[in-house]
Chains A and B, each alone.
Chain A
Amino acid sequence: MTDMANPVPPLAILLELTHRCPLQCLYCSNPLQLRGASAELTTQDWFRVLDQAADLGILQVHFSGGEPAARRDLTILVAHARERGLYSNLITSGIAITRDRLAELAKAGLDHVQLSFQDTDPESAERINNYPGSQNRKLEFARWVRDLSLPLTVNAVVHRQNIARVEAMIELALELGAARVEVAHVQYYGWALLNRDALMPSLDQLREATRKVEAARQRLRGRIVIDYVIPDYYARQPKACMGGWGRQFLNVTPDGKVLPCHAAETIPDMEFDSVKDAPLAEIWRNSDAFRRFRGVDWMPEPCRSCDQREVDWGGCRCQALAVTGSAAATDPACALSPWNGTLRQMAFDASAVPVPTLRYRRIKQPASASA
C-alpha cells in the first residue's frame, strides 16, 4: 500500500531543460504553451535540482527538452549529475550537437544516448518533423555515438504516417548499433491530440505493426531489446502511466515546475510547485499535484475495488481528462470504463480522415484551424 505521508523515493527525474528545439514534430510531448528561453532556469538552479534529486534517492536523470543541447551548459550539467552518482541519459534529436560536443559529453560521464527517428523514409521523416535535411544529420550523429562507444537507444514513435515501416525502423536501429529500440505509439495529449486525425492508425494497421514487432522480438532476441508501447485508443486495459502517479517519476519544466507526468499541466485545476520555491523532497512528499492521484484512495469505482488497482494504478489521468472531461474518471482505455467504446470510435473516426491538416509544434499558440 502507498503511504501518503511518506511515499517511497522516486527512481527517475526528467529535466526538460528547454522547450527550444530545431524540430517541430507533430506529436511533441511538450505542452501547447511552450516557454521561451527567457523563462528557463539558470545553471545554478539545475545544479541544485540535481543535488536534491540525488539526495532524494533518485537514480536516473533524463536530460530532455525540447532539444537539451540548445542549452550551452548541458555538458557541465551532465558532469554534475555524474559527480552525484546519477545515471545520465540524453534524449536528443541529434540535430544540434557537433562531434566535438558529443565527445565532451562522453568525457563528462554521459551514460547513455536516446536518439529519435521520425521515420526511415527521409521525405516522410522531414514532413513529420518539418526540418529539411534532418535525416542525414541524425544518421551522422548516430555514427558519432557509435565511434565514441556510447550506448544508444533509438526512439521510434509510430503512427499512421510511418507505421508501414515499423520493421525498417527496427532494422535501422540494429544497423546503427543500438542495443535498444523503443517503438512507441503516439500518446494523444497536447500536440498529438491536435494532430490526432493525421496520426491515428487503423485497427488493421495497428495489428499488423504489433505482429511485426512481436516477430522481430523473437528473431532478434539477444541482439537488440525492443520495447513496445501500444496505443491506448485501441486498448482494453490501461497502462500503469509513469509506473503510477507520484510513485517513481518526476518531470521538471524549463521554468522549474515539478510535474507528476509531462502532460499534467493539461489538468486545468491543478497547481504545481516550483524548484525555485521548495526543495524537491518536499514537493515529492507534499505537493497537491503529487498527492492528488497518488496511491488508490482517489480512485472512483470500478477502479477502487478492482484487483488491478495496484497494477495499472488507474492508468492515465491526462487521457481520462482529454476524453471524459474529468481527470479523476476511470481511464477510458479500460474496458470497464463506460467511455471505452467512445474511445475506440474516436480512433476509428480519426484513422478514417483522408488528408488532414498538419499542425506543427511552434513556440506560439497555434491557430485553431479545423481539421
Chain B
Amino acid sequence: MDKSGAAALGILGPTSCPRLAAGVRLTFDRTRENWILLAPERVFMLDEVSLEIVQKCDGATSLAMIVDDLARNYSADRDEIELDVRKLLQDLLDKKVMAI
C-alpha cells in the first residue's frame, strides 16, 4: 500500500505527520484546571504526557521526529517511547480526533 493510501485509512507510519482533525480544539479548561481536546460530542482530558505529545502534532513534524525528541528530553528508551506515542496517536486517529 502506498503512503497516501495508508494515510487515507488512518494508519500511522514513521513518516506520518499527525495533526488535530478539523473541528478539534486544544484548550485549557479553567474550571477543571486541565488541558483538554474538544471534539464533536466528546471531551478528552489530557494528562501531562499526552499533552506534550499532542502539542507536537503540528502536521509538519513526523512521528519519528516526535519520538526522537521525547526520547532525548526524557533520556528514555526510544522503543518504549515509540510504543506509547503510537498507542495514543492511533487511538486518537481511530476516533478521528487526529488526522494524518
Query: Which residue numbers of A lie inside 8 Å of B, CB to CB?
Result: 9, 11, 56-57, 59-60, 85, 87, 89, 111-112, 114, 149-151, 153, 179-180, 221-225, 227
Q: Which of A85, A112, A221, A223 makes the CB contact (< 8 A) with B40?
A: A112
Partner of B96, one of A57, A111, A149, A225: A225
List the 10 closest pairs (A to B, CB-CB), nearest first.
Answer: A222-B10, A151-B23, A57-B31, A87-B38, A179-B96, A112-B40, A151-B22, A112-B23, A225-B96, A222-B9
15 CB contacts below 8 A, A to B, read A9-B31, A57-B29, A57-B30, A57-B32, A59-B36, A60-B38, A87-B25, A114-B40, A150-B22, A151-B40, A153-B41, A179-B96, A222-B94, A223-B9, A225-B94
Q: Cβ of B32: which chain A residues have Cβ within 8 Å of it? A: 9, 57
When the two chains form their complex, are residues B27 and A149 in contact, meaning their CB atoms are under 8 A apart?
A: no
Q: Which residue of A56, A114, A150, A179 is within 8 Å of B21 (Cβ)?
A: A179
Residue of A nearest to B29 (CB): A59
Residue of B at shortest CB range from A224?
Answer: B96
Q: How far is the CA of A179 from the CA of B99 in the complex (A)?
A: 11
Q: Check B10 against A111 for contact (C-beta < 8 Å).
A: no
**Chain A CB within 10 Å, residue with most, of B9, B11, B23:** B23
Query: Across the interface, do B93 and A222 meet the contact criterion of CB distance under 8 Å?
Result: yes
Interface residues on chain B, size class: 20 to 34
Chain B interface, DSSP helix/strand/loop, else mixed: loop
Query: What 1/0 mask marks residues of chain B from 3 to 21 whose CB sits below 8 Å from any chain A CB?
Result: 0000011110000000001
Please determine whether A223 and B10 come into contact, CB atoms closer than 8 angstroms.
yes
| Residues of chain B with a CB closer than 8 A to A59's CB | 29, 36, 38, 43
Q: Taking the nearest CB of chain A, how far is it from the CB of B18, in angstroms? A: 13
Interface of A is mostly: loop
CB distance from A25 to the nearest CB of B (A): 20
Tell me which residues across on chain A come within 8 A of B29, comparing CB atoms. 57, 59
Q: Please, how many angstroms separate the alpha-carbon atoms of A59 and B44 in the complex?
A: 11
Q: Given the complex of chains A and B, what is the CA–CA distance between A60 and B11 in angstroms?
A: 29
A222 touches B22 (CB 8 A): no
Q: When chains A and B are docked, how far (Å) is the Cα of A221 from the Cα of B10?
A: 8
B89, chain A: closest CB distance, angstroms: 12
Q: Are A150's CB and B10's CB within 8 A?
A: no
Q: Which residue of A lies closest to B100 (CB)?
A: A222
In the complex, A57 Cα to B43 Cα: how many Å? 13
Say yes or no for B95: interface residue by CB 8 A criterion: yes
The answer to whether B40 and A180 have CB atoms under 8 Å apart is yes
Contact A149 B22 (CB under 8 A): yes
CB <8 Å contact, A111 and B23: yes
Could you tell me the distance between the alpha carbons of A222 and B18 in the complex, rounded to whole angstroms?
A: 13
Closest chain A residue, CB of each to CB of B93: A222
